[in-house]
Structure 1
Amino acid sequence: MTAAAATLKAAGRSSESAEQRDSAVEITGSLARRGASIRQSLGLGTKKHKQEPLEPVTEAMTPSEEQTEVIDTVLELRDTYTLPEIPPVPLSDSAVEITGSLARRGASIRQSLGLGSKKHKQEPLEPVTEAMTPSEEQTEVIDTVLELRDTYTLPEIPPVPLSVMEINKLIDMEVLEEAYVNLLSLCLEFQKEHQALDQEDYPIELVNKEKDLSLLYGTLRNKMFVIVRNSSALPSRNKELLVYVAYIILEEEKRQGEPGAMQGWRETNPFKGYDYGFNYEFNCCFHSEKVMGSSSLQPELKEDQRVLTLDNDFLNQIKDKYCACLQADMKTSLNRIIELENEDMWREKRKPVIDEGIYTSHIDMDIWTNIKGHVQGSRRIDVNLEQKVVRSCLEELKTFPKRFESAFVKWSSPLSNSSLWAEYHISYINSFSALKEHMESYQDTCPIQLGLVQNEIDGLTTRLSQAVMENFKTDVKPFLRRQMTGKWFSFNEDFSKLISRTETLSDQSKYMTPKHKQAFVNKAHFFVVKEYVSQLMKNNYSCKNRKNETAATKITNQWEELKEIFQDMNSTLDWLHPVGNQLSMIIGCKKSDVKQHLQPLVNNYPDIRKSHLSAVLYFRGIIRGREKHTILQRLAELKQSSGNTGNKEQALFSEIQAAVNTDCMAGTPFSCLSFIVPDS
């Protein structure tokens, strides 16, 4: 090859290489310009950092084989490449910014909780589009609400409202507007009736109407909550209902502060009353999976990037703070229950409401509904949060029975002699027993905490029941102590008062729940029998001149009255019934016949001792002598032959202390031998 040819070939290669470099530079510039254009269309702006200028390409920057291959490919595609179809709707600014917003909010909440910032670097997430755009139905409802804000007029309120059941049915059937205007009509009716009364006159019918109003408002509010909550899942079905919800909210906005306005109408999510950080964070955690998992994500997004996750320590601290706030709210609600009871019942001295034949209060339903709402709300957030919420509620509820008791005792002590005092006690026995039954639904969730709550409730109901019983005992003891005395033969007023007080107790016990009523009645029955029989054991009086026959007749008649009362009260202590008649037979019979009446007494009451029978004989008029000794000896023989030590659950005489007769030295020496015989 000639030198000229070589020079020409070299120049050709140089010219071709220069042309390729020019093409590559042009393509690079075009790609850069397209990238800038795309960033601008997405609202991302331009790069903020300064880029160093590129050095000019010289001969020394000869491309490698791989780079030369890439350049050749670009040159081949230059005339054949076609840009993919441009989407009809560009990415929205809000969609592009959502990931950054989530990250910023998360960082803010972490800082407020003192958790610091994440140390590891997270790869940027691709923007989310379609999942964040409201549907046409939702957009239409929003527009309708905005238009109605200044133009909506409430339909005419009917002069006579529908019944409570009819209004409740309308709410259940989601006929919201008609239900609402009838509810307003019922509220106006209540206000007029209330204003027409004296302050001290508040009939039970008005109390019930007030509670009906509260329940109906609560039912309507809950129905609105469900409709709003389900609006995203069933937009077509709930579109019209959402509009009616908007009607009611707009009206309630106008009526805020007026008497009878609905409380809690703003509550459209389960996080009411708690830190907004929790509201955001839990919504972020549980809705981000739906958003990040949308099919509208860029194909390049990795599967493990589709869930916006938070580390477990962070979530646990959020849940702990959520439960702490909830427990504080629970304490406030429980204290408010005591305040309302004081304002509505104690100060006004209103009689308890009778529901299904028993005294009741609203306390158990208020507490149960409150806890149930918290638990259901937590379940919608996270099934693992539910147990923590139940535990927090139970821990706060555990201290409530004693707080309530303290406030109630402080108020009620001056009224201990009134029937209202006992009625309140019985209503709270019933109410807290019902609360205990309601709480049993959390047995599987938190058995330990529930057990502690149940112990506190049992302690309260026991103390309330004991208070009523002790009040009864204190009331009737003076009447019982004046039985079997010299005055007793001709004076019946004390026994009549005993019967009257017992009948009052019987009437009150009818309004107890069956479970508590039975135990209460049995205790009252045992107490009256024991105290009545005890009067024979005190050696206060000894019958003379055939007065024993008069005494026996009176004991028999009085015993029949007592037995009849406790049978009417459905006492199950039937084994107590024979003792009065058997003792009266010993008192009224001839001295020689006393031994014949011992066998039934020993059979029914094997715990009777010699001291008991000796006291009965003293009242009978057998104070000393051979007759008394032989009678006591016969008792010892019967007890020994029967071998029956007695049923501890049916022990009567072992609960009675008998007076000891020390007058034996005045009689024959043989009678004194009775003291050698053990008192058994």
Structure 2
Amino acid sequence: MAKSPTSVKDIFRRLSSIRKSKKKTFEINGTKIPLKPCTVLQITDYIEKDMLKEAYLNLLSMRQNEKLKVEGEGVSPTNQVAKETDVNDLFETLRNKMSVIVRNSSALPLPNKELLVHVAQIILEEEKRQGEPGAMPGWREAWRDAVLDGVRDALRKVQLDSREQNDSWLAVHLGLLGKAVVEDLERVKTELLSSYPADFKVFETYVSCHHEAVGEHLKRLLEKVTELKDYQALLDFIIHRYPSDLRDEQGILIVEEELLNDIKTSYCHCQMEDFKSALDNIIISEKKVWTMKNSPDRADDGFLTSKNYMAIFQLIASYAENLEKIDENLGKSVIRFCLEELNPFHTRFEEEFLQHTRSLLTSDLLDCCLWVKYHISYINCFNSLKEKMQFYRENFSAQVEQLEKDVDGLIQRLTQTLIKHFKTDIKPYIDGMMTKKWLKTNEDFKEVTCRIENYRGLCKSMRAPSAQVFVNEVHYYVAREYVSQLMKKKYSCKKTKSEDAAVKLREQWKELRKLFEDMGSSLNWLYPLGDYLSDIIGMENERKIKDLLIPLVSNYPDISKKQLSAVLYFRDSSFSLEKHNVINQFTLLKRDAGNTNHRSFFTDTEVLS
């Protein structure tokens, strides 16, 4: 026998029983859920008008009634699906509305704070119902997403000028960005915290969202960054200013390591390119100096220098200072690159310098002096640079040692170029000495001393130790060439002429000594030689010449018999009676002297047969 249909009375009895058993579910914060929900249109209207409480209570009623009908009998499956769809759509609409409210709460003026209270209550209620039929998951996640979207909106409103509008566009923007973050979080504490239960961890959530939004924002900014100063501003903001802006908060914002490393790498590459460009610009700038024939700069201490070239050390020092604050390893990579890049730069510089200043030597005397000044200024610069680079020796010993080697080579070549020019300049006048004309006039000697005096003035603008090297080598060369004229047998004195020659040699040697003492020569051992030779040449009594050999051989043991014979020939080519005895005495002295003195002078002095 078929079971009779359930009576209306039985259905209401069941509904009443269920309602009594679900009493807690049908009441929220003292407000009862209506037994009969509003229509879909009415609930939609509640949502649109921000009447969240009314909309949610009716949605709960609708969800509960649909559940009761399912538990009853005679419900059409088609109608059931349609009703469930309506309920789900309405809940989705409500959640979207709540997201808009939360998102807008990041803006000023602050929306109705009571709405945020309702948002929190609805989220908590829905989290309690997780697992029940028809309950939607992800309410807390949707709330955080809305917070994040609101933070993103706030950051987009921060003023951002273009590079064309403001050369410091990024630094200005980052300053405003940091200020906006601090102000936003301060407003969260003062205005939003009270709208949420402690369970929401509102401040921590906003800090986390700012962290994420700022990271996204910086990634977009990074795409626009091309200049070194902007990379530096970005890293300074991330590493120093951004965390310090929130140093009093529990959650310090730190950009993701991957993004930070990307920025550091880009900054490093940009800095390397900037350094190479700076080196190229130095050469270009120096070319203008040479082309315009501008005089070199003078440092405060009076030494010739090149401000452009000394900018290299200042640039590396600024890199080191900036990078030290950002990343120690990154800083070391850049400094190592800079030190290594200086070596090929010096080669390029030297090539350009030689090419563009060669013509100065074929011009007038002023241009020749300018050519000398250029050499001195760069010798000074390279010495100063080498000295300053000692600062990096501890961490970059291999690079500094290689740099020293290259710079020393360059300084030596520049110095030798100067010396070669000096030698070429005075050689014709020195070659004119120890002749009959030399006895009658001082023209050639004056030309020599005039050129020495010119270099004496210029050398006062050269820094040690190169100045000492240059002066000593010039002194040695002049002394050697002067003495070598005695040994070329160009002239032989007769009778009283030897006395005249001795007087002249002594006076000129004394003048040369005064010049080189004033220049700071340290070759003091050369000074007695002129007197020894003058004594021999001017000695009237031939027998006494043997006695004059003792100090000569003792102080200059590398003098040869051939060289002594040449000196005696200059004194008097007819000198023969005592010559044999003098040479024998010389041979004995040489044997006794041995190699006690390692100075070399006569070994380098030319002798003609």
Residue 344 of structure 1 deviates from its aligned partner by 4.7
Q: Which has the larger radius of gyration?
A: 2
**Does residue 290 in structure 1 map to residue 248 in structure 2?**
no
Which amino acid is 1:96 matched to? V
**Does residue 274 in structure 1 map to residue 227 in structure 2?**
yes
- Per the alignment, residue 485 of structure 1 pairs with 435
Distance change >3 Å, CA 276–CA 333, structure 1 → 2: closer
What SS class does the counterpart of residue 557 from structure 1 fall into? helix
**Does residue 553 in structure 1 map to residue 503 in structure 2?**
yes
- Per the alignment, residue 655 of structure 1 pairs with 604
Residue 475 of structure 1 deviates from its aligned partner by 0.3
Residue 383 of structure 1 deviates from its aligned partner by 3.0
Distance change >3 Å, CA 615–CA 98, structure 1 → 2: farther
- Per the alignment, residue 391 of structure 1 pairs with 336
- Per the alignment, residue 673 of structure 1 pairs with none
Residue 555 of structure 1 deviates from its aligned partner by 1.1
The partner residue of 1:607 within 540, 550, 558 is 558
Residue 539 of structure 1 deviates from its aligned partner by 2.1
Which amino acid is 2:359 matched to? P
**Does residue 363 in structure 1 map to residue 308 in structure 2?**
yes
Matched residues in 2 for 1:533 and 1:495: separation? 13
**Does residue 41 in structure 1 map to residue 77 in structure 2?**
no
**Does residue 538 in structure 1 map to residue 488 in structure 2?**
yes
- Per the alignment, residue 201 of structure 2 pairs with none
What SS class does the counterpart of residue 418 from structure 1 fall into? helix
Q: Which structure 1 residue ranges, 5 or more long, are not aligned?
A: 1-10, 46-73, 79-90, 106-127, 137-268, 298-304, 661-680
Residue 349 of structure 1 deviates from its aligned partner by 3.4
Structure 2 length as normaliser, TM-score? 0.63
Q: For this pair of structures, how many residues does the alignment match?
A: 445
Matched residues in 1 for 2:21 and 2:244: separation? 47
Matched residues in 2 for 1:278 and 1:424: separation? 37
- Per the alignment, residue 617 of structure 1 pairs with 568
**Does residue 635 in structure 1 map to residue 591 in structure 2?**
no
What are the residue-to-residue correspondences of 1:99-498 with 2, within 5 Å?
131=182, 133=184, 274=227, 278=231, 282=235, 286=239, 290=243, 308=254, 310=256, 318-344=263-289, 346-350=291-295, 352-353=297-298, 355-416=300-361, 418-498=368-448
Matched residues in 2 for 1:403 and 1:345: separation? 15
Distance change >3 Å, CA 23–CA 401, structure 1 → 2: same
Distance change >3 Å, CA 445–CA 25, structure 1 → 2: farther
Which amino acid is 2:465 matched to? K
Matched residues in 1 for 2:102 and 2:490: separation? 107
Distance change >3 Å, CA 277–CA 423, structure 1 → 2: closer
Residue 494 of structure 1 deviates from its aligned partner by 0.8
Residue 502 of structure 1 deviates from its aligned partner by 0.9
The answer on whether the counterparts of 2:559 and 2:603 sit within 8 Å (CA) in structure 1 is yes
Matched residues in 2 for 1:292 and 1:92: separation? 26
What SS class does the counterpart of residue 304 from structure 2 fall into? strand
Which amino acid is 2:553 matched to? V
* Deviations 1:140-169 (CA, angstroms, capped at 9, x unpaired): xxxxxxxxxxxxxxxxxxxxxxxxxxxxxx
**Does residue 525 in structure 1 map to residue 478 in structure 2?**
no
Which amino acid is 1:509 matched to? C
Q: Which structure 2 residue ranges, 5 or more long, are not aligned?
A: 1-11, 29-87, 106-124, 130-141, 157-178, 188-221, 362-366
**Does residue 595 in structure 1 map to residue 546 in structure 2?**
yes
- Per the alignment, residue 572 of structure 1 pairs with 522
Residue 506 of structure 1 deviates from its aligned partner by 0.7
Residue 637 of structure 1 deviates from its aligned partner by 1.1
Instruction: Give the aligned CA root-mean-square deviation in angstroms.
Output: 4.4
- Per the alignment, residue 20 of structure 1 pairs with 21
Distance change >3 Å, CA 525–CA 429, structure 1 → 2: same
Structure 1 length as normaliser, TM-score? 0.57
What SS class does the counterpart of residue 572 from structure 1 fall into? coil
Distance change >3 Å, CA 94–CA 471, structure 1 → 2: farther
The partner residue of 1:96 within 126, 143, 147 is 147
The answer on whether the counterparts of 2:546 and 2:585 sit within 8 Å (CA) in structure 1 is yes
The answer on whether the counterparts of 2:182 and 2:246 sit within 8 Å (CA) in structure 1 is no
Distance change >3 Å, CA 279–CA 413, structure 1 → 2: closer
* Deviations 1:65-113 (CA, angstroms, capped at 9, x unpaired): xxxxxxxxx9xx99xxxxxxxxxxxx999993379979xx9xxxxxxxx
The answer on whether the counterparts of 1:480 and 1:494 sit within 8 Å (CA) in structure 2 is yes
* Deviations 1:159-208 (CA, angstroms, capped at 9, x unpaired): xxxxxxxxxxxxxxxxxxxxxxxxxxxxxxxxxxxxxxxxxxxxxxxxxx
The answer on whether the counterparts of 2:296 and 2:306 sit within 8 Å (CA) in structure 1 is no
Matched residues in 2 for 1:354 and 1:129: separation? 48
Matched residues in 1 for 2:247 and 2:91: separation? 30
